Chains A and B, each alone.
Chain A
């Protein structure tokens, strides 16, 4: 059997001394799409930041392995180069850094990590424009500073474009549907689906079932109070949509 892409074992973690993840287990194999659904405050975003290695998020115990390697000792950029990509819920604006040069730098940094030669600028721009066109991102937008003055939908499309260009092994979508109208949602979902193959995997973190109509998961997990409390197939998502999270949330 192949090594799983991502293994999380009995993870306890938190931020600023507050424990948020409490005994979390999850295994994702190559080519699988997992959805994690849960109520507000369950620690969904914390989980995505932990996987990316965001400073300030601390693991107290447990193991995270990515393709058999210990992920926890890797820096943010190493994890990205190893193939983890996070579509952020609130992408930040970076004034003064145009999209094109930002992405070119990111692509070449990752190529360098894998001992591949840098991409030729003209080639890169051609590729970027082509990928952008599929997502409704025109050349003008590519010249603008990263996310500056972008609408919510444009930001998510740019996230999707970055994913299309960086071609990660594991893409994590953190509430990728927040702030999107239905058309933008379809475009983003299509972009994500284009990347799907039997090697790449997705971890879709979401509040609502809506996104899962477009990105159909193989597994659905209910996430409450820092761990997975129930797992099932895509039908679980429909069930949750109907009944809500009430049965999983303890009275405090």
Chain B
């Protein structure tokens, strides 16, 4: 068996529902090989080693009364004043102390922030408006709020890393937006990974449920600080349920350490009039995949799955989509743009499936990439499976280089070559960025390019 599946005692080992899910997932996990179609372009050799480490359960440690480090960086007040606290820092005053050991990243815009550190949720909850419920997934299981939704529609035969994620089911949040509830600012899941712990395997599972007519914006931000060569594996699964008329703007930004692995699966189910507007910027990691599966279940369900990727060096960044139109008059649109330099490789696999009775449906897909070097590579696999006869569908793919005439023009005005290239790269992403509804999020990501 792969070294990724290990024996570890997790919270809820005595709760049949949770342990049952883990059990099934453990048995279902399989490692894709070079012959696996879905992983043909994105090679997984960096995972085929036995040295991944799973940290012990924070939940169990708390229950067992193990002493937990308490300091501001984990959101808990220090109980010792005028002396060193358990994190090894000297704190003068309770109110004013600033912990420098970890520079927790905040977003440059107002958001309801929820933080994870090395894959462990930091239990501080922002004061969200009524109708918005946020709790750890384990809590949701314990009090029966999870409603047997978790894992219900994920096929492990197709998504082995979702099986891996479920095998370690523990960390992650249950976000429940009640009927017609609306958020005035985005919810932001900020995932900090710090150097020091080598080969950490992290599994985070978020269950996000928007009831009918609920509306929310969700930001996911993965970042890293510390020793640049640190290697770890963040394996993320988001299960998203949108009720009738519910709207979710979901923006993911992956900026992991350059030796890291980041695999993510977003599984989205949309009922009538529901709208999912997804965007993902991938910039970090040695191996990154952002996979989005959308099921448009009922009439007038809409989804946009847009993405941008930008890399150098030897990285492989993969954007994979699978949009299923299961009802008539459903709509989907995808715009994916990438800029690839060095010896890096961009992968796009985009599938649109239109069921036989899904008439009057519209599915659009466009992938464009800019190659900055002769050794950069992009592999594109569009797949259209259309069983209805009255649909509008399109797909396209294009690859190009930076325009030398544009570059000369800009330089002839005094702009240095490097800056001119950067401006052209920024300009290249303008249209895909414009698909992010929230201007502040748009500006934030534009500045990150």
Contacts and interface: CB of A to CB of B under 8 A. Distances in A.
Contacts of B414: 77, 80-81, 106-107, 109-110, 113, 166
B406 interface: yes
Nearest to A80: B414
A103 B413 CA distance: 8
A77 B404 contact: no
Given A81-B414, A109-B414, A109-B415, A54 B408 contact: yes
Q: Which size class do B's interface residues fall under?
A: 20 to 34
Interface stretch (A38-46, A62-70, A87-95, A135-143): A87-95
A110 B414 CA distance: 6
A88 B417 contact: no
Interface stretch (B17-25, B72-80, B103-111, B420-428): B420-428
Nearest to B405: A92
Given A92-B409, A94-B410, A77 B416 contact: yes
A92 B411 contact: no
Interface in B133-188: none
Given A75-B417, A95-B427, A109-B416, A102 B408 contact: no
Q: DSSP class of A's interface residues: helix, strand, loop or mixed? A: helix
B428 A96 contact: yes
A169 interface: no
A107 B409 CA distance: 14
Interface of A: 52, 54-55, 75-77, 79-81, 85-86, 88, 91-92, 94-97, 102-103, 105-107, 109-110, 113, 145, 162, 166
Interface of B: 403-406, 408-417, 419-420, 423-424, 426-431
B412 A55 contact: no
A39 to B, nearest CB: 25
Given A92-B403, A94-B406, A166 B424 contact: no
Nearest to A147: B409
Kindly list the 8 A-B residue pairs having the minimum CB-CB distance in the complex, ordered from nearest: A96-B427, A80-B414, A96-B430, A76-B411, A106-B413, A110-B414, A77-B411, A109-B414
Contacts, number: 76
20 contacts: A54-B412, A76-B411, A77-B411, A77-B416, A77-B417, A80-B412, A81-B414, A86-B412, A92-B403, A95-B430, A96-B429, A97-B424, A97-B426, A102-B410, A105-B415, A105-B419, A106-B410, A106-B415, A109-B415, A145-B427
Given A77-B417, A105-B419, A96 B411 contact: no
A75 B408 CA distance: 11
Of the listed residues A54, A55, A76, A92, the one surrounded by the most CB atoms of chain B closer than 10 A to its CB is: A76
A88 B409 CA distance: 9
B406 A80 contact: no
A166 B413 contact: yes
Nearest to B418: A77
Most buried by A among B414, B423, B424, B428: B414
A50 B256 CA distance: 45
A246 to B, nearest CB: 34
Nearest to A105: B415
Contacts of B404: 55
Most A CB atoms within 10 A — which of B403, B416, B429? Answer: B416
Contacts of A145: 427
A95 B431 CA distance: 10
B412 A52 contact: yes
Given A52-B412, A88-B409, 10 more contacts: A55-B404, A55-B408, A77-B412, A77-B417, A92-B406, A96-B426, A96-B428, A96-B430, A106-B415, A109-B419
A76 B415 CA distance: 9
Contacts of A162: 413
Given A92-B403, A109-B414, A97 B408 contact: no
A47 B245 CA distance: 64
A75 B416 CA distance: 9
Contacts of B428: 96
Nearest to A52: B412
Given A109-B415, A113-B414, A97 B427 contact: yes
A80 B411 contact: yes
B423 A80 contact: no
Contacts of A77: 411-412, 414-417, 420
B427 A94 contact: yes
Contacts of A55: 404, 408
Contacts of A106: 410, 413-415
A75 B412 CA distance: 9
B360 to A, nearest CB: 33
A5 to B, nearest CB: 18
A88 B410 CA distance: 12
A80 B417 contact: no
A112 to B, nearest CB: 9
A103 B423 CA distance: 12
A91 B405 CA distance: 9
A97 B413 contact: no
Contacts of A92: 403, 405-406, 409
